[in-house]
Structure 1
Amino acid sequence: MAPLVTIILAAGKGTRMKSDLVKVLHPLLGVPMLSYPVDLSVTKLKAQKTIVVVGYQADRIKERFKGEPIEFVLQEEQLGTGHAVLQAIPLLQGFEGTVLILCGDVPLVRASTLRGFIESFERDEAVLSVLTTFVEDPSGYGRIIRDDKGLLQRIVEEKDATKEERTIREINTGLYCVQAPFLREGLQGIGRENAQGEYYLTDLIEIARGKGFSCSAFRAEDSLEVMGINTRVDLATAHERLRQEKVRELMLSGVTVLDPSTAYIDRGVTVGKDTVLHPNCTLQGKTVIGERCVIESGVKISDSILGDEVTIRPHCVITESRLEDGVVIGPFAHLRPLTEVRSKAKIGNFVEVKKSVIGRGTKANHLTYLGDAVIGEKVNIGAGTITCNYDGFKKHQTIIGDRVFVGSNVEIVAPVKVGNDSSIGAGSTITRDVPEGALAISRVKQKTIPGWSEKQKRRREKED
């Protein structure tokens, strides 16, 4: 394949999305729409240079893609696709290879399709080639006009098309291959004498043919693959296609997905072999799940790392947390950011953990809040335990050593340190450090009043 530079058009607002967010930043499987053509260029096609043409919310796009091996050019006024590509010409000086023009709102196109497109373009020895497809309803698209030999003659935009031309079902996808020297020269001859008053990139075809050059077309068999996203309906369609592809990819790699139609797994998620995903799982961001794990129904995991043989029982929410091998979570548990659960530990039902370390083999089985805590190994946290970490102004830390027994309904008012092998009696409120091996208990002395029920009964009878 000849040397390649990619230009990605991403300057438009996307009015039909009805959104304050620029269209190409709308997420698809956890990443911006624009990430897909960028990844194709940089990773799959390994282009020498990837140029992104931005306009509306340019600074926001640049910030989102900071650190990516791409270059940006600004189209301050959106005057059509030809005008957009013209902004990238200064970055093509000295380049004599193939320029691939992609759209930031066409995220489904496959690398294999683009490779076939580029190879066909180079084989045909054309100066320009367009990627086309057939659709049932071509409304809104530019129509492909071929000559008597079936060669590409021109592309007519719908607003400029005749009644007969509008019946054509072969459409322009907006993706092109162009020889760089011709692109630099041809763009100088584009005008804006059309219904939209814009500079159409499609006019390059007429310019090329006028100079005696040939133009070609390469058809994509799957029209959905080259679909442009214009509305939220299109966005949902693209999301579903990508979701199905991701689930299929995981299943082929050895992951069991019990109900593929209800598995929502972001693009950046990895899952190890022999892991089982139950229905209605949502795995987001850069989540990594190890081997032989079980993720049960209704679980949502975001940007977290799970080791091997981890079990997440139904209806848990886990965010920015790290779970080591053999951990059991839930059901109905909530792990908030910066939580670390060491191997063989268990976090049970209706337990919330925030910014805490839970030691190896430690158990907090039910009805507990652990915030800003460091808890050692083989600790028992009784039902109803609370680490009181907030004094109304700032957070404080609780430190609990190894092999500590914490009884039920205990309040630990931070900052407090609890030594190794110590115990805390049920119902206690702990406000001071507990030495190693000690028993801490803080209760009001129980008072028992004999005959209380009989006295209450007589009182009610008297009032009646």
Structure 2
Amino acid sequence: MAEIGAIVLAAGMGTRMKSGLVKVMHPLVGSPMIAWPVAAAFEAGVGNCVLVVGHQEEKVRGYFADREGIAYALQGEQLGTGHAVRCALPALDPSCQTVLILCGDTPLLTAQTLKGMLHDHQNSGACITVLTATLPEPFGYGRIVTGADGNVRAIVEEKDATPQQRTIREVNAGVYCVDAPFLAEAIPHLNNDNAQKEYYLTDIITYAAQKGCTCRSHQVADAVEISGVNDRVQLAESARVLRCRINRELMLSGVTMIDPQATYIDRGVRIGRDTVIEPGTTITGTTVIGERCKIGQGTVIRDCRIADDVQVKAGSVLEESVVHEAAAIGPMAHLRPGTELMREVKIGNFVETKKIVMGEGSKASHLTYLGDATIGSNVNIGCGTITCNYDGVNKHRTVIEDDVFVGSDVQLVAPVKVGRNSLIAAGTTVTTDVPPDSLAIARAPQVNKEGWKLKKKS
């Protein structure tokens, strides 16, 4: 809906975060903090969005570089919320008839709440609608002052409120729907005659009352949505709430979580039905997991594609890898970026892989490193095998064809190729290609010196 625009205030540094990183770019369950309110605004029907940037603006611009419908306004000196909106007005799409104004540090706002607020605003005839909540302890929030008709007359900040006004429990959430022509008229009339010497956006309510315009409030159903993030304690609490929402949605779609409170799943992760997630698991990035999988306790999965019926056993780490149907991984395995495991592959405990393709039905059961390799189908990799892929300057590739049996404690010195249906004897160091259907053995002959031990004792 191009007639609805949004302004997101994101210029402040956020000094209470005690960080060298601007507050709105702190990671929060898979996305920067600012990504959450921006996504909620677009989902609620906003057609274009102006981000008011200041500190570290290049980081904000960089994150949204590929996102259509976003413009930027620079607030070089932070002189309050009213001043921020003044900076944003020239960047708004001229077609906007309604402007949704919200803050970049309120990640818990939902699209459902914003949709309801926009709907009420557009059907009430009000020039301003304010999102509010009723709190048992409203300290620190601006209070909503209403008239006998229920319309909002003013919003008074904590530091400027009288003792009587501080008893009001309905508070300002910092989110507004404003008719665009009225906003353009009201912003130039703001002044900084207050304790903070800032231009308060809330003063447009007083201006509207003076002009005889209607201002309404829209109460949020769950007050937790208005929670802002000012420090790392609040950042962690917001992450907890967001993870609960993500986990609840996944469970309602058919995913089993043994302990949702001990399961950490990022925004954007997709998991199929009848998959079981055990406690202590962390799943992040662009990961997609199929149906009927079992993800064991304490696993870490990032940016992976995992097909149906896969088992990832306890303590395994998977990064930027592709796993096909019915594979089994772990426990304590490490799939590094570039790994692709075909159907029914088995990767056992303390096996590490990197940039390999492993064919259907092949297995490396324990204590093995496989890097920069192409491995065929039905290959057995014995315990203690390694591909020696690095010569100190360049990486080289190992090729193992179908139906090869590699014994224990084998070193494959790349570049090298092992032909199909061959057997590599235990303890062999392979430095040249092995023809198909061959036995390769390269180790010193065994020598038994009978009676040697007795002579040593004497």
TM-score (norm 1): 0.96
Equivalent-residue separation in structure 2 for 1:394 and 1:20 (angstroms)? 37
RMSD between superposed Cα atoms in Å: 1.4
1:400/1:420 contact within 8 Å kept: yes
Equivalent-residue separation in structure 2 for 1:67 and 1:93 (angstroms)? 19
Once the two structures are superposed, what CA deviation does each residue of 1:401-431 show, in whole Å capped at 9, x if it has no partner? 1111110000111111111111111001111
Once the two structures are superposed, what CA deviation does each residue of 1:412-461 show, in whole Å capped at 9, x if it has no partner? 11111111111111001111111122211110111111112212222xxx
Instruction: State which drifts further: 410-419 or 361-370.
Output: 410-419
Q: How does 1:321-340 map to 2 (within 5 A)?
A: 321-340=321-340
Once the two structures are superposed, what CA deviation does each residue of 1:133-188 show, in whole Å capped at 9, x if it has no partner? 11222222211112233321111111222222223222111100100000001101
Q: Which residue of 1 aligns with 2:244?
A: 244
Q: Which residue of 1 aligns with 2:396?
A: 396
Once the two structures are superposed, what CA deviation does each residue of 1:279-328 show, in whole Å capped at 9, x if it has no partner? 22111111000011111111111100001100111110000000000100
1:416/1:431 contact within 8 Å kept: yes
Amino acid at match of 2:419: G
Q: Which residue of 2 aligns with 1:46?
A: 45
- Shift in alpha-carbon separation, 1:287–1:94, aligned structure 2, 3 A: closer
Equivalent-residue separation in structure 1 for 2:95 and 2:400 (angstroms)? 65
Task: Give the percent of matched residue pairs that are identical in Structure 1 and Structure 2.
Answer: 53
The question of 1:67 aligning with 2:39 is answered no
Amino acid at match of 2:118: I
Tell me the SS of whatever aligns to 2:377: coil
Q: Which residue of 1 aligns with 2:307?
A: 307
For residue 195 of structure 1, report the CA deviation from its aligned partner. Answer: 1.3
For residue 117 of structure 1, report the CA deviation from its aligned partner. Answer: 1.2
2:2/2:95 contact within 8 Å kept: no
Equivalent-residue separation in structure 1 for 2:423 and 2:184 (angstroms)? 79
Q: How does 1:198-209 map to 2 (within 5 A)?
A: 198-209=198-209
2:5/2:93 contact within 8 Å kept: no
The question of 1:212 aligning with 2:212 is answered yes
Equivalent-residue separation in structure 2 for 1:76 and 1:274 (angstroms)? 52
Once the two structures are superposed, what CA deviation does each residue of 1:253-290 show, in whole Å capped at 9, x if it has no partner? 11111111211111111001111111221111110000
The question of 1:449 aligning with 2:427 is answered no
Q: Which residue of 2 aligns with 1:15?
A: 15
Equivalent-residue separation in structure 1 for 2:49 and 2:426 (angstroms)? 64
Tell me the SS of whatever aligns to 2:105: coil
Equivalent-residue separation in structure 2 for 1:96 and 1:439 (angstroms)? 76
Q: Which residue of 2 aligns with 1:462?
A: none
Q: How does 1:156-167 map to 2 (within 5 A)?
A: 156-167=156-167
2:36/2:108 contact within 8 Å kept: yes
- Shift in alpha-carbon separation, 1:297–1:93, aligned structure 2, 3 A: closer
For residue 391 of structure 1, report the CA deviation from its aligned partner. Answer: 1.4
Instruction: State which drifts further: 178-187 or 2-11.
Output: 2-11
Instruction: State which drifts further: 445-454 or 302-311.
Output: 445-454
1:134/1:171 contact within 8 Å kept: yes
Equivalent-residue separation in structure 2 for 1:333 and 1:373 (angstroms)? 17
Equivalent-residue separation in structure 1 for 2:234 and 2:138 (angstroms)? 15
Equivalent-residue separation in structure 2 for 1:286 and 1:296 (angstroms)? 19
Amino acid at match of 1:20: G
Amino acid at match of 2:187: L
Q: How does 1:323-402 map to 2 (within 5 A)?
A: 323-402=323-402
Tell me the SS of whatever aligns to 1:355: strand
Amino acid at match of 2:233: V
For residue 123 of structure 1, report the CA deviation from its aligned partner. Answer: 2.5
- Shift in alpha-carbon separation, 1:141–1:333, aligned structure 2, 3 A: same
Any unmatched runs of 5+ in structure 1? 459-464
2:318/2:336 contact within 8 Å kept: yes
Q: How does 1:77-92 map to 2 (within 5 A)?
A: 77-92=77-92
Q: Which residue of 1 aligns with 2:55?
A: 56
Once the two structures are superposed, what CA deviation does each residue of 1:22-69 show, in whole Å capped at 9, x if it has no partner? 111112211111111121222x12322111111111001111111112
Q: How does 1:408-447 map to 2 (within 5 A)?
A: 408-447=408-447
1:96/1:181 contact within 8 Å kept: no
Equivalent-residue separation in structure 2 for 1:263 and 1:445 (angstroms)? 54
For residue 90 of structure 1, report the CA deviation from its aligned partner. Answer: 1.2
Amino acid at match of 2:387: T
Amino acid at match of 2:54: G
2:2/2:46 contact within 8 Å kept: no
Q: Which residue of 2 aligns with 1:461?
A: none
For residue 382 of structure 1, report the CA deviation from its aligned partner. Answer: 0.4
Q: How does 1:112-131 map to 2 (within 5 A)?
A: 112-131=112-131
Q: How many residues align?
A: 457
Tell me the SS of whatever aligns to 2:367: strand
Q: Which residue of 1 aligns with 2:171?
A: 171
Equivalent-residue separation in structure 2 for 1:59 and 1:112 (angstroms)? 30
For residue 2 of structure 1, report the CA deviation from its aligned partner. Answer: 9.3
Tell me the SS of whatever aligns to 1:374: strand
Q: Which residue of 2 aligns with 1:234?
A: 234
Instruction: State which drifts further: 319-328 or 150-159.
Output: 150-159
Equivalent-residue separation in structure 2 for 1:264 and 1:226 (angstroms)? 23
1:92/1:180 contact within 8 Å kept: no
2:2/2:48 contact within 8 Å kept: no
Equivalent-residue separation in structure 2 for 1:19 and 1:335 (angstroms)? 33
Equivalent-residue separation in structure 2 for 1:115 and 1:56 (angstroms)? 30
Q: How does 1:99-110 map to 2 (within 5 A)?
A: 99-110=99-110
Q: How does 1:272-287 map to 2 (within 5 A)?
A: 272-287=272-287
Equivalent-residue separation in structure 2 for 1:251 and 1:110 (angstroms)? 19
Q: Which residue of 2 aligns with 1:147?
A: 147
Any unmatched runs of 5+ in structure 2? none
